Structure 1
Amino acid sequence: MARRVGGRGPSAGRAGHGQRRTDRRRHRTVDRAGECTVIADRRLLPHESGPEVLDQLRTRLTCLGLERDGLKVTAELTLDMPGFETDQDAPLVGALVDAAAAAGAGHPPLGGWTAACDGGFLARDAKLPVVVFGPGSVSEQAHRADESVAIDQLVIAARTYARIILDLLGVS
């Protein structure tokens, strides 16, 4: 038993009652009535921690009163990827903007980034300022079977990195 979720058309999904999983050894689908698994990717903001957000989620789930209806709900934290934010006036940001312009990248836009990276650990644990800069497009090129970066963008990024290092070390 399933019902349509969302709108109409090829992107509309189906919601099933129960969990479906594939038994790879027998190449068949097994229905498990009465069980449903929901996986959510909740990104952390700079002032949040994974355990805090998990506690908030558990509180909200408890408030729904699902257990009164005989439903058991569990929530777990599988990845604690810290968010980060670097002040636009930080020396590293100024060095990046100047180096990118000098290397031919123009002036990169300053702003937030909705993806995650190891920079959050450097900001949180080592108290380092962090910027995200690189060749290509995360939204259009990264994490795909045909992932690639144009050579000219790679050269500009390499020049930018070299100029940042020289600038921060005080080398002309």
Structure 2
Amino acid sequence: MVLDHIDANRLIRLAQDMVRIPSDNPPGNEREVAEFLAQYLGRAGLDVELREVAPGRPNVVARWGRVGSRPHLILNGHIDALPPGNGWTRDPYGGEIVNGRLYGRGSTDMKGPVASLIAAVEAVKQSGVKPRGSVTLTAVMDEEGRQEGTRRLVQEGVVGDFAIVAEPTEFLPVAAHKGDMYIEVVAHGREAHASTPQEGVNAIDHMADIIVELRGLADRLRERSHPLVGHPTLTVGTIDGGMLTPMVPGRCRITIDRRVLPNEIADEAVQQVREAVDRVRHRRPDVRADVRMEAFAPPMEINVKSPLVAVLRETTAQILGRDPGVHGWAATCDANLLVNEGKTPTLVFGPGSIAEQAHKPDESVSIDELTTAAKIYALTILRLVG
């Protein structure tokens, strides 16, 4: 049986080794961990390529089965991780195991889940199954940045009949996720000496009124809803204004994180912010402010009746003893590129919790969950392409 070929100790050692290789993004230094994985996968008997996307920043692409044979399943995970930041009580690159949990930056998001994908492919291959289809395992760069790794793969033609992105979803199959838009608002005033503020125009004062108006917009957005991902959100994430305390500030800038539903139109989300600024300007004609979209990672959604959904629910129930159902995600990941540009039905599914562990000090993942994930992935591979 394929599950007999899952080597839990080997899986955990692989996850530890990956955590111990820094691949912080920014600045983006995935080469060492990519080369490590390429060598590992080559020794496992897979056909492996390193495909450089930017200098020193390659994707890893490994294949099992005859190229071009279908069904074609893509297994996707990223090997970059956010810098550790402050507040850690353990070495973020130590790969320690304490009380059944692997600690370190990227342990949950998502070097641990990538190790589970690899262990699953190894197990299916070692079981002697002759695939009727094919599997492409992709360990990509820059998911935490501009998603250039998976974007490049899709542009190169890495598309399939099904895909699984192994982000930490607490073993809940995610068939839709929100998009993430960054919007910049800059208020323009006129500088003056703070002892004569009437001679200037205070850009921070104007921005304060804009922020209050945006708070009202955020409240109204809660009236919208999507059956899987809930309501859209708007959060003012940064603010910067003024040069010195004794000066009337002539400029103030904020950036907004706007989470977009699968059925929303991106341009309308930007227009809502412009209209909020216009309402302030109507009350205060001296307000001058510019609004622009800085970046946008689109939402994604697939048909919940896809065969992929049915199979993953069944294999998860086989291992966990319960039907996990179908869910949505407030976060954003590379599944949007596979679905929207690659036209590949994709589920996000993996061990660990993005809410509880990802992007935090002392990030960790249960080693039992990594093994459980490998079992579910292995059974899913068998059902889809075996």
- Please confirm whether the aligned pair reaches a TM-score higher than 0.5, indicating the same fold: yes
Unaligned regions of 5+ residues in structure 2, if any?
1-203, 213-239
Q: Tell me which residue corresponds to 2:329.
A: 113
- Aligned equivalent of 1:142: 358
Cα 1:83–1:100, aligned 2, differ >3 Å: closer, same or farther? same
Q: CA RMSD in A?
A: 3.1
2:368 counterpart residue number: 152
**Cα contact 2:242–2:250 (8 A) shared by 1:** no
Tell me the CA shift for residue 118 of structure 1.
1.0
Question: Which residue of structure 2 aligns with residue 24 of structure 1?
Answer: none
Q: Distance in 2 between matches of 1:127 and 1:47?
A: 17
| Matches for 1:1-172 after TM superposition, within 5 Å | 19=241, 30-31=244-245, 33-58=249-274, 60-61=275-276, 63-64=278-279, 66=281, 69-104=285-320, 106-169=322-385, 171=386
Conservation of the 8 A alpha-carbon contact between 2:357 and 2:364: yes
CA distance in 2, matches of 1:153, 1:125: 31
Partner of 2:251, secondary structure, is coil
Separation in 2, partners of 1:114, 1:70: 37
- Could you tell me how far apart the structure 2 residues matched to 1:109 and 1:147 are? 27
Give the aligned length.
Answer: 150
Q: Output the CA distance in 2 between the equivalents of 1:136 and 1:62.
A: 40
- For 1:68-106, what per-residue CA distance to the aligned partner results, in whole angstroms no more than 9, with x for missing partners? 622222222222111112222111111111111223373
CA contact under 8 A between 1:100 and 1:107: conserved in structure 2? Answer: yes
Q: Look up the equivalent residue of 1:113 and give its one-letter code.
A: W
Q: Which amino acid aligns with 1:64?
A: R
Larger strand share, 1 or 2: 2
Change (3 A) 1:148 1:93: same
CA–CA distance in 1 between the matches of 2:380 and 2:300? 20
> Equivalents in 2 of 1:141, 1:53: separation in Å?
30
TM-score when normalising by structure 2: 0.35
Residues 300 and 340, structure 2, Cα contact 8 Å, conserved in 1: yes
Q: CA deviation at 1:56?
A: 4.1
Query: How far apart are the structure 1 equivalents of 2:381 and 2:265?
Result: 31
The higher-RCO structure (CA 8 Å, 6+ apart) is: 2
Query: Which amino acid in structure 2 is aligned with residue 35 of structure 1?
Result: R
Identify unmatched segments of 5+ residues in structure 1.
6-17, 22-29
CA drift of 1:145 comes to: 1.9
